[in-house]
DNA sequence: AGCTCTGTTATCTG
DNA sequence: ACAGATAACAGAGC
């Protein structure tokens, strides 16, 4: 289920074990999601190293072990992390770290996620140079204007899913933002009026931050007033208009929106 | 049985 | 060269 807030939630389960030392116990080297994982580096270096820090950026996670060893994790479509006292092996457990009385597990049935191990003197530069997250202070209105100018011909729904521009925003968040901003997902970015752009900005910020607040801490559902609660229900109805929601593929992704509300 | 899915990327097409 | 669209990846649930 991982978008911005879910990623934050999963990272928290591992981060809770900062200070504990870990060793590599198991890695499914033949699985697609482990193809970037250097097994020999893991076996040799990943031995009794303390979990020093954990970071998230958009849909990415980075865990630091010791001083120079870094584990990057992406959850793809179906990935999840867990921490448990005894490793009760489940189908699709692809990476397991053991430390004292706890096991850190990466599980991913569809294997669209990935894990990778690397050395770096301190936080890697590429991590520090990632573009601003939509909820961060650096993501100000002029920043959004620049992004829009650069892709004025793009369909707005697809635009919101580009991770270089909106790190962490995924399919349901994009639909939520457009619904709250009352913008038809099929519109072109360049067609937005300045009022619409201002409202879009507001909603990008609000949905990103509120999602982390709600889901990031305990995986609770977003507010009842959001589209989120209605979007996958058969015969789902727009909470604003009381009329049926529409589902259609836009930019290759199923999109849910409310005609008469989103213009 | 066939279609769906909260993601990314290589490969197309114009 | 470029942007946008599409197919492929792989499993589980309906």
| Per-residue pLDDT tens digits for A111-128 | 999 999 999 999 999 999
Question: CA–C1' distance A68–C3 (Å)?
Answer: 39
Question: CA–C1' distance A244–C11 (Å)?
Answer: 31
Residue among A208, A203, A180, A192 nearest A156 (CA): A192
DSSP string, A149-180: HHTTTSBHHHHHT-TTTSTT--HHHHHHHHHH
Q: So what's the pLDDT on residue A258?
A: 94
Whether the beta carbon of A170 falls within 7 A of nucleic chain B: the reply is yes
Query: Is the predicted pLDDT of residue A218 greater than 50, yes or no?
Result: yes
Q: What is the pTM of this model?
A: 0.95
Chain C: nucleotides below 7 Å from protein CB are 3-12
Q: Nearest residue to C9, CA vs C1'?
A: A112
By the 10 Å C-beta count (0-12 exposed, 13-18 middle, 19+ buried), A166 is classed as buried
Query: Which stretch of A4-8, A9-13, A20-24, A47-51 has the lowest confidence by average pLDDT?
Result: A4-8
Nucleotide nearest to A76 (CA to C1'): B7
Query: Is the predicted pLDDT of residue A2 greater than 70, yes or no?
Result: no
Whether the beta carbon of A113 falls within 7 A of nucleic chain B: the reply is no
Q: Which residues pair with A23 in a beta bridge?
A: A98
Query: Is the predicted pLDDT of residue A1 greater than 50, yes or no?
Result: no
Whether the beta carbon of A3 falls within 7 A of nucleic chain B: the reply is yes
Query: How far is residue A8's CA from residue A14's CA, in Å, rounded to a whole number?
Result: 10
Give the position of tokens 């709250």: A180
DSSP 3-state of A40: helix
Query: Is the predicted pLDDT of residue A9 greater than 90, yes or no?
Result: yes
């Amino acid at each position: 289920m991982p978008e911005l807030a879910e990623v934050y939630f999963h990272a928290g389960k591992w981060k809770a074990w900062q200070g504990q030392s870990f060793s590599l116990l198991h890695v499914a080297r033949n699985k697609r999601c482990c193809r970037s994982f250097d097994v020999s580096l893991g076996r040799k270096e990943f031995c009794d190293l303390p979990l020093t820090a954990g970071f998230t950026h958009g849909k990415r996670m980075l865990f630091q072990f010791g001083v120079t060893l870094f584990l990057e994790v992406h959850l793809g479509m179906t990935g999840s992390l867990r921490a448990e006292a005894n490793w009760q092996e489940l189908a699709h457990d692809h990476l397991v770290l053991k430390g004292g009385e706890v096991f850190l597990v990466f599980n991913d049935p569809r294997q669209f996620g990935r894990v990778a191990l690397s050395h770096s003197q301190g936080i890697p530069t590429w991590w520090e140079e990632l573009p601003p997250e939509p909820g961060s202070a650096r993501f100000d209105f002029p920043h959004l204007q620049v992004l829009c100018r650069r892709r004025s011909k793009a369909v707005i729904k697809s635009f919101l899913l580009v991770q270089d521009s909106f790190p962490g925003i995924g399919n349901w968040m994009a639909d939520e933002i457009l619904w709250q901003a009352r913008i038809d997902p099929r519109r072109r970015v360049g067609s937005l009026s300045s009022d619409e752009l201002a409202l879009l900005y507001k909603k990008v910020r609000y949905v990103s931050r509120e999602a982390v607040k709600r889901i990031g801490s305990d995986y609770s559902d977003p507010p009842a007033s959001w589209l989120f609660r209605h979007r996958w229900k058969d015969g789902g109805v727009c909470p604003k208009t009381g009329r049926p929601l529409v589902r259609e593929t836009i930019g290759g992704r199923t999109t849910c929106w409310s005609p008469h509300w989103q213009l």
